[in-house]
Structure 1
Amino acid sequence: SLVRTFTPFYFLVEPLDVLAVRGASVIMNCSAHCESPPRIEWKKDGTFLNLVSDDRRQLLPDGSLLINSVVHSKHNKPDEGYYQCVATVDSLGTIVSRTAKLTVAGLPRFTSQPEATAVSRGGSAVLGCEVSAELVPLLRWERDRQALAPEPRLLQLPGGALLLTNASDGDAGLYRCALDTGGAPKYSDEAELKVLPDAEEPQSLALLRPPSSLTRLPGQSAAFPCVAQGFPPPHIRWTRNEEELPTDGSGRFQLLPGGVLEIRDVAEADAGTFTCIAQSGNDTLEAQAELAVQVPPTFLKRPVNIYAHESMDIVFECEVTGKPTPTVKWVKNGDMVIPSDYFKIVKEHNLQVLGLVKSDEGFYQCIAENDVGNAQAGAQLIILDLDVAIPTLPPTSLTSATNDHLAPATAGPLPSAPRDVVATLVSTRFIRLTWRPPASDPQGDNLTYSIFYTKEGINRERVENTSRPGETQVMIQNLMPETVYVFRVVAQNRHGPGESSAPLKVATQPEVQLPGPAPNIRAFSGSPTSVTVTWETPLSGNGDIQNYKLYYMEKGQHTEQDVDVGGLSHTVTGLKKFTEYSFRVVAYNKHGPGVSTHDVVVRTLSDVPSAPPQNLTLEVRNSKSILLQWQPPPAGTHSGQITGYKIRYRKVSRKSDVTESVAGTQLSQLIEGLERGTEYSFRVAAMTVNGTGPGTDWVSAETFESDLDESRVPEVPSSLHVRPLVTSIVVSWTPPENQDVVVRGYAIGYGIGSPHAQTIKVDYKQRYYTIENLDPSSHYVITLKAFNNVGEGIPLYESAVTRPHSVPDPSPMMPPVGVQASILSHDTIRITWADNSLPKNQKITDARFYTVRWKTNIPANTKYKTANATTLSYLVTGLKPNTLYEFSVMVTKGRRSSTWSMTAHGTTFELVPTSPPKDVTVVSKEGKPRTIIVNWQPPSEANGKITGYIIYYSTDVNAEIHDWVIEPVVGNRLTHQIQELTLDTPYFFKIQARNSKGMGPMSEAVQFRTPKAESSDKMPNDQASGSAGKGSRPMDLGPDYKPPLGGDNSPHGSPTSPLDSNMLLVIIVSVGVITIVIVVIVAVFCTRRTTSHQKKKRAACKSVNGSHKYKGNSKDVKPPDLWIHHERLELKPIDKSPDPNPIMTDTPIPRNSQDITPVDNSMDSNIHQRRNSYRGHESEDSMSTLAGRRGMRPKMMMPFDSQPPQPVISAHPIHSLDPPHHHFHSGSLASPTRSFLHHQLSPWPLGSAMSHSDRADSS
């Protein structure tokens, strides 16, 4: 039969550890691959979940587990635990994923609260706020209840505390921390941080926050705080395992502000003891912390797929590594493999299966686990029929001597059963079998044999093959004592296996007695490199002791060494000095090794150190003292406890020296009493109880000639010179001119455009330095400062441009394309564009940026404004309303820039006018003292096209605005006449502009007093005949008042004189002739322009807000009989003239009425259909009268419609008088429903003249 192939069956995605918040939803990802779709199930804490009846947990189509609304309380935690994905393919097998831990963030609690703190300006402070480890990612800080903006001076420490460095006055305030775990945040107590003035007096050195031990995984980052305070400001440095750490920022170790050591991308080799050393003046403080690096399990060797036959032994190999050392367990088809006689764990992690049976087929998985993770790797076992040959396999898959019987059978005679199978040697753990060849082949030279054996009563046979053809004996090992085994032998020739021999039962012998442990084991060190171990004879030797084996191991190691010993003691030599070792002894008799003794631990004796101290440095403090600093000898060379350090120093010119000793914990010493201006040499040696080790090399320093001042920082260096090269700059300088201040070194800062990017410190004796690894053709700013223990002095600045490479200039970039301007509001436009130099997905992956520029052409000399963007769009704000702008874009990448793109244009939306009409003036019309002319200029901030004006006038400047009389004016007019005002009366005028967005603010009130007397050429009855219906000041009309029916409007009822009648007749005839001429001219003109004006007239019939159109036929619009219907006449909404350039600016308002009541819904509908329309052209002398001037007149209330009318009125609609600037009151003019305007009226009606053509057009 054919060989079955292995089936690919594995996980595409395995679940990962998850931190969840109570009430949120969580997805545990899982996806498996197989030729047949696998069935996915989930286990929680080793138990299968019943997802069918679970309303919160559900299985997603890809196999992932969705948990809705995580439940978590103090006594009910049903969702927290370990989850495992199980994939099954029927008739094939089952595999399990790695286990993933679901952790639910506990109730937000603060283990420590912030406390009030004071810090000096420029100092550091720590505000405590500790929470549990799983809540740290959810923690944030606030100052004065505002979220803290990220900046380098602020650092959140691993536990949650806030570190603030280089404090300034702006840092003062109330601080608190907040936990965001879903829902409302939980806040800690508030603590006040006070910032004090700069410290001027020395302060003792103290550690505000020492480092604490951390545990990290590879690839994570670690931060050790070491926050110190004192004056002078402390200097912080770090060591790892007593070795100085480079913290210049070039590697993975970086010293952050406040002395925090940050380790990026933690590696396993970073584990060790980190020591923080803080120095301020002569004070030194140290603090230590451990960094433990834990490594999740990883596979060095994974199990491989295996073919096998029944009765064979196989081994699945699995080699893992991790820290802590992982534990390994095996799973078969999802079930745990329990070690037994036939399933054994060998060589720590390998699985050995003995005596295969058909049911052993399936998937085996090696699962490795430690404290920080787990992993799984699997392989498939296929058991073939005996007549199928096993394909080539890796050499480690099968145990030795198991393949010889596996050759495929061919046609031919098979051997008969072997004869006379007997056990020639039986022991406790092995049996030797022998037999005779089969009768069918007495020689048996070409036969091989397979020996099948099993425990009695167990249906699982194992097989052992002979090592060479013709061999008729075999040694079966690794048996159990006092156990009955059943053996049978099968011979095999080139045609295949033959008949089996009869079963043979053999029982192994009982276990023999081995020696017990050797008593009274003792160990002691006789020298720094040797240990002597003694013991006594075991009490239960069970026969003669043949020898002993002594095992020993260095503490902290994992490999034992052994030595054979014939007696009861032994001295082990060649050990390390002052090192702990463990020892144990095992006795051997003729049966083998006995029981081991317990371990005894002893430390070798100490010795003098084998290496000198490290990093000896000298610092000249003044003319008579020098400060020495050093580090202990390297680890492993101490040879004992360091009890002290011996310092030897001498003048360079002499050979005799002076010796001083300091304690073993002291790593610095101030040598005083030296001579001025003298050079001294120093060396340091470490001491133990055994003596002094080797010393360091001699290091020299010269004292100052005089005592220099170190109470202030050094002055500025006297000169600074730079010499640029292609990738470097040579810096040279001279010291400060004032030599009275101590200079301990120089700090060189440099960077492109800023000298603060990099800082290098050099010795005070140095006068030049070469800055390497710079960019060619770059402008660098360089600063030089002298420093001492007080601080850094005044910097000296210089700049230089590095020389260019001899390469051609970079080609320019292509400009952006497709620039578009999208109008968003009256002051905002979004600019978008595309970049052809980017991929098709337009994803920016480099450091390019875009420059957007814009301007308006009004005025013509406007300068461009620019802004930079890193995306393919930019929001331009702060623009002017109703203004046309042009935009273009340029791209820059490194030193390459494109030209400006093609321009895009956009006009911002309109906005209501933000300023009133200006230059408002009021003058009296010449020859007509009761007629005034109002002039004005448009608003300076019109913010759009002005569509109209409203003139308010009143005799009382303090009256409510709805009590003022209004005069609407179209937007293209800047002057307006108002007639028939009262003589010798002060009037106040205001003007308001509007555009398509609404009404603007009103102008300031302008006062004008009409003249005292009328002109002499005006007829006496002019007031009565020409102004009936306009009033200037509200006056009540008596309830009993009735207008006279005659035409005499004289206040005293005097008749008109003949002269006045003749003059009136002449005026009427003249006006009639002129009117006829004008009508003929206008009719001819309009006939020619009918077609071109027709559309404009229809557009002009719309209301200002465009909400409706006026409809109706000409026959429906009849001029009302003002005499008959004046009592019910309504003031209708007024609209712009349909003419594109209207000239009419006066507002005809009927003035005469008896008691008029407000219009309500019960008014007869035909009244609403009768509208007073006024359209067409009118001379500039057309007038609006304010008031009659005779006698007491009853109060007239003119109602406004609540609905828009159909006829077109040649004035602005009432709803246009409803800007957001006004506050309307009941009865006000601009009410959108019913409102009443109060006027003084003459008793005579005055109708508005309107031609037949005008009436037709108004429809």
Structure 2
Amino acid sequence: MVCEAHGNPDPILRWFRDFAPVDVAASNGRIRQLATGALQIDSATEYDQGKYECTASNSAGSRTSNPANLYVRDNRTVRRMPPWFSIPPTSQEVMPGGAVNLTCVAVGAPMPTVRWTRGSGAEELPASMSGGGGGGGGGGGGGGGGGGGGGGGGGEGGDGGSFAAPTGRNVLTLVDVTRSENFTCVAQSVMGVAEVTVQVTVKALPKPPSTPQVTETTATSVTITWDPGNADHVLYYVIQYRAKNGDSGGQGLNTALGGGGSHNNNNHHNNNNNNHNSYTEVNSVATTRYSVGGLSPFSDYELRVLAVNSVGRGGPSEAVEARTGEQPPSTSPRQLQARMLSSSTVLVQWEEPLEPNGVVRGYRVYYTTDASQPLHAWPKHSVDSSLLTTIGSLTPQATYTLRALAYTGVGDGPLSPPIQIKAQQGVPSQPSALSAVAISHSEISLSWTAPRQEVVTRYELRYGPTRTGEQLVVSFPPATSYSLRGLSADTEYSLTLAARSDLGVGASTAPLVVSTLPSAPSAPPVSLTLSALSSRSLEARWGPPPAEFCNGEIVAYTVRYRPLGHHHHHNNHNNNNHNHNNNNHNNNHDSKEAHKATAGDDDDDDDGGDDGDGDEDHDDDDDDGGDDGDAVNR
């Protein structure tokens, strides 16, 4: 068989039989490729029969010849073989709307025609040419050309709707595939018929799993199980949950159950709280049993499950509702207040906790005249779910401390902050929510909530420095805020507030400690001494200002000096900046290039000046006080 090809550079020729390379080496010299490119077969047998093609290749590309069919006959009879598939088609998977090629190659003697049918075989499909395949060859009654694209079984055919089946090879191209179907390749000759059926499966999104079942709940977790609901391969599941009131329910640890095939490795929480109905997600769940944790106690949740495969996410399952278990309250009763109904009976009111974590079964009010005693020694008064109660048999004129807690079926919550009340009828109860903030080095601003439903004629504010224990009293008309002025800088103050009526002063609030802001020292350093180190240097040493005049932590000192007899000429040391200003002389006192000695550090920097002598100017607002300092001027 002759094959010629031309190109630059010269191409290399290779022979193929039935689309497989011809193995010249394995023929023991019976098959040779000549220098001209021709293929020579000696002593041909029926096994040499087939469709032959020649391919020419160089660095610029490759080109394949038209096929030639070789039939081998002996001198007496023609050898014939029934059709068989040398390259059978295989089943394929395709994305929805995608395309796929089904290739079918058959051989025989004579060469069979190859056609495709859909389903049960009643509908014949057009051939789709690929790479020159399907061309007519000798002996097989091959039709040329074939049809165009299959288009899911459609395409162009011959006249009158009949299709010329190609010989040996048929490629069916399916486009815009939307459903799964079976296709059959039929190879036919006078020697018989061979068939092979393959399936084109359209990949689909997974079906929703079954409705989850709640198997266990705790105060902070819900365990669910579900059936996959999918015969197709599922990569993983996504759990979506949300609180029925719209809250996502918190972000916490999610614990997979051991021993039940449950895992929780590398799962991710996505909390899409763009609106109050959003779900929190747990991704990459590999099992059908999972415990969602980090939930709020005694809260109603909706949970649902989605399956994910290689195509994407399927639809969610039906949601299941679950309620987490109870816990003791996380917070105490709010707005605890007390008011005397008589000299021995008090009315106590409060609001329910912000986080009850269950059904509040009741409240306990603790009260005592000695708040230093342990809580178990305090008298207590139990109440059901009511938000107020009265306590009688109090000692008149005594001051009582009261605290309250809420409890659920599983335990007690924390105690409320203490309040105080004086057992005297007509005396106002304690102001609440007292807060204070330092405005400056000499002013503190206070605010509070006035006693409810009580007549207050004035307030009494007691305050004083904590380091001395001294107490001062200021009285002012009814208000809910007050500015305390004239205080010392950088000083810690203790403050208490009480309301007064015409019948007396009520109980004071608990002490509130606030510190004023620091300010510049109000006194100069002390014990300044100078000593000459050389003809051009002095050593200065000093002590910090008295503690009551430091007004905060000393961070640096400024040393100013001048030659005697020059009243307006200053040189200044600034140890923080380490500037050596020997030549910058300015007669203006307000223009300074200061040398600041850091508190507690020795400074040997050389700042030029006149010989040795200098005096210190202590009337400088930049002077700071603190630890002992020294400076050397050379």
TM-score category by the smaller chain?
A: 0.3 to 0.5
Larger radius of gyration: 1
What TM-score, normalized to structure 2? 0.33
Work out which structure has the larger RCO, using CA pairs closer than 8 Å and 6 or more positions apart in sequence: 2
Query: Would you tell me which structure has more helix in proportion to its own residues?
Result: 1
What TM-score, normalized to structure 1? 0.17
